[in-house]
Amino acid sequence: MRFDEVQLPSELLSFLKSKGLSDLYPPQEAAIKAGLLEGRNLVISSPTASGKTLIALIAAYPKVKLERRRVVYLAPLRALASEKYSEFREMESLGIRTVISTGDYDSSGESLGRGDIIVLTNERFDSVMRHRVSWLDSVGLFIADEVHLAGSDSRGPTLEMILTKVMYQGLDSQLLSLSATISNAGEVSRWLDSKLVELSWRPVPLREGVYDYGRILFTDGEERPVTRSTYGAPIDVGIDTVKTGGQSLIFAGTRRRAVSLATKAAEITPRYLAERERELCSEAA
């Protein structure tokens, strides 16, 4: 489905087109059909990079511009909150102001009311709710990211508590919960009194395999050789993907290991990038 086929405000439609967006991903289409723009509570359960942030953006626009209400975006980590803050700040061209707060739990957070979209960590929002700031009653949409973490030992209790408060403190607002693909999505949606939108679709097909001594053995039986180097297996596999025009994401067990792998990747990756790609990497560094 194309964005033109959805009854979106013309200003929002122009904004999306300016970002090079023309077609809805299946999860986005399903969310709209499930009542996203009608204020229905939803749990969106879909893989990483399947377009959940854009679902949040589409839901946020009418709340701010048409209903003149605020939006609160909740993230479990400061890094994720900063990332979403940067993404929502792009809406400043639409006259929508985004603010962020990830610490200073002793502060009431009253000044955050100057923003239309307020990005907070779960812990910071817990503090804001305890201070009972005046702008809380003007929130028309709560977006809870990574809601599947409600079951975790470390971050689960705080998330569970603030979502319970949102649901039962009489706040007249919509709740949009974003989740990775999980086995108990139905249970989560019932707890949050939300309609479940669950899809396994992803923009890039997922293939699983095991690397062993210069080759990748895929679960479908295919075997692919990988050029070995002195940089080590993680870099070898990552570069193999870059050579074929793909992107690689390498996870490390420690920060020190992550820095070591990043340093090695920075040494070898430029050999396989186009000139413009190298320029962009230099700017990012």
Residue 203 covered by a domain: no
pTM of the predicted structure, to 2 decimals: 0.83
Q: Are residues 32 and 82 in the same domain?
A: yes
Paired residues of 101 in beta bridges: 120
Q: Are residues 141 and 221 in the same domain?
A: no
Q: Are residues 176 and 274 in the same domain?
A: no
Cα 75 to its chain centre, rounded Å, is 9
The enclosing H or E element of 240 equals: helix 233-243
Q: Are residues 177 and 219 in the same domain?
A: no
Cα distance between residue 285 and residue 277, in whole Å: 12
More confidently predicted of 48 and 71: 71
Q: Are residues 160 and 235 in the same domain?
A: no
Paired residues of 74 in beta bridges: 120, 144
Q: Are residues 215 and 153 in the same domain?
A: no
Tens of pLDDT, residues 96-116: 999 999 987 778 889 999 999
C-beta of residue 268 within 8 angstroms of C-beta of residue 239: yes
281 pLDDT tier (thresholds 50, 70, 90)? confident
Q: Are residues 74 and 113 in the same domain?
A: yes
Residue 69 covered by a domain: yes
Please return the burial class of 216, using the count of CB atoms within 10 Å of its CB with bins 0-12, 13-18 and 19+. middle
Weakest-pLDDT range from 78-92, 104-118, 123-137, 269-283:
269-283
Tens of pLDDT, residues 178-235: 998 788 899 999 999 999 999 999 888 888 999 999 999 999 999 999 999 999 999 9
Q: Say what the pLDDT of residue 135 is.
A: 95
CATH number, position 123: 3.40.50.300
The residue among 165, 198, 231 that closes a domain is 198
Q: Say what the pLDDT of residue 285 is.
A: 66
Give the count of domains, the chain.
2
Kindly provide the residue ranges of all beta strands, DSSP E only, lying in the chain, ordered along the sequence.
42-45, 70-75, 98-101, 117-121, 139-144, 174-179, 195-198, 209-211, 215-218, 223-225
Q: Are residues 153 and 227 in the same domain?
A: no
Range of the domain at 189: 3-198
Residue 49 covered by a domain: yes
The residue among 198, 217, 251 that closes a domain is 198
